[in-house]
Structure 1
Amino acid sequence: MKRIAIIGSGGAGKSTMARKLGQALNREVTHLDALFWKPNWVGVPRQEQMIVQNELVKREDWIIDGNYGGTLDIRLNAADTIIFLDFPRLLCLYRAIKRSIRYRNKTRPDMGPGCKEKIDLPFLKWIWEYPNTRRPEIMSKLQQLSGEKKVVILKSPGEAKRFLNSLGKNKE
């Protein structure tokens, strides 16, 4: 695992997984949210996102977390390992709400400067609809890529924890 893409619904724990994986593998982590949200939640244009990501994936090794469906193929095609956090929508909603309370009026460590934590109905709706709107397309892509890449689908926090724990055992 040298080039790792971590994807999943909002609230699934992509940034946490990336951070823990980075620690386990002693690898730099890139949080796309930190790159693609400017102060006061101003989004970076897709063309700029593509340029940045094309540069990021040229590195020898990397861990990148984030969705950004319009540029997802850049990461999936360049990755040798794809981790999909396929957690239940209620858990993702709960975590997103919990995160918004925890970081209320603050900027999360994995977010761009000047983007104070917020939660709104469109984001909650996106999380709720993710299993029906985004997941089928992602599963199709992962199935197509599974012959040439390591695809890890984790369905619960327990599975994620066991996966991370297994990395320490493999290093010995």
Structure 2
Amino acid sequence: MRRILVVGASGAGKSTLAGDLARRLDLPLIHLDRHYWRPGWTASAPADFRAEVAALAARPAWVMDGNYASTLDLRLPRADLLVLCDTSRLRCLIRIVRRRWAHRRLPRPDLPEGCPERLDLDFLRYVWRYPRDSRPRVFAALAEHAPALPVRRLRGRREIARFLAGVGK
């Protein structure tokens, strides 16, 4: 495995898992949030972001975390494995509240400078609706752009730990 794509709801553990995979496999780590957001939580222009993601996905090796359904068509065909962190909505919400508290003073390492951790009603709705709205888009993109791509669907800490235990062996 040289190119691993990690997706899932916010708070599902994507960034943590991606970092663990990158370290274990000695692969470059790409957090898409760092490429999409500009200071003050300003979004990149769609065409600029697509071009940047296309260049990132063209690299020979990576572990890439982030959803960004608008670029799945660029990333899925290049990936060797798709990992879906499919943690329960309630656990995701608890984690993002904890994460907000933990990073109230220092920025998260997977976010760009000038984007302090935030928590608002729209974000909470997005997390709650991920299984209904976003997960089906991932599977639809998978069926269209990379139907033979292996998928590991990890539903909790135990499954993630078992998966990681088998990586790099």
Residues 140-159 of structure 1 mapped to structure 2, 5 A cutoff: 140-142=140-142, 148-159=148-159
Partner of 1:59: 59
CA distance in 1 between partners of 2:146 and 2:37 (Å) = 31
Change (3 A) 1:94 1:70: same
Unaligned stretches of 5+ residues in structure 1:
none
TM-score normalised by structure 1 residue count: 0.92
Asked if 1:77 is matched to 2:77, the reply is: yes
TM superposition shift of 1:136:
2.0
Q: Which moved more, 1:138-147 or 1:73-82?
A: 138-147
CA distance in 2 between partners of 1:146 and 1:47 (Å) = 22
Residues 30-109 of structure 1 mapped to structure 2, 5 A cutoff: 30-109=30-109
Contact 1:21 1:164 in 2 (8 A): yes
State the AA in 2 paired with 1:127.
V
CA distance in 2 between partners of 1:16 and 1:58 (Å) = 23
Contact 2:76 2:146 in 1 (8 A): no
Contact 2:11 2:96 in 1 (8 A): yes
TM superposition shift of 1:50:
0.5
TM-score normalised by structure 2 residue count: 0.94
Partner of 2:167: 167
Matched positions, count: 169
TM superposition shift of 1:143:
5.2
TM superposition shift of 1:40:
1.2
Q: Which moved more, 1:132-141 or 1:12-21?
A: 132-141
State the AA in 1 paired with 2:148.
E
Asked if 1:111 is matched to 2:111, the reply is: yes
Superposed CA offset, 1:125-160 (max 9, x none): 000011111122223444566752221111111101
Partner of 2:127: 127
Task: Note the aligned Cα RMSD (angstroms).
Answer: 1.5
Superposed CA offset, 1:46-70 (max 9, x none): 1111100111111111111001111
Identity level (%): 38
Superposed CA offset, 1:68-96 (max 9, x none): 11112211121111101111110111111
Change (3 A) 1:145 1:152: farther
SS in 2 for 1:167: coil
State the AA in 2 paired with 1:83.
V
CA distance in 1 between partners of 2:106 and 2:68 (Å) = 23
State the AA in 2 paired with 1:161.
A
Q: Which moved more, 1:147-156 or 1:44-53?
A: 147-156
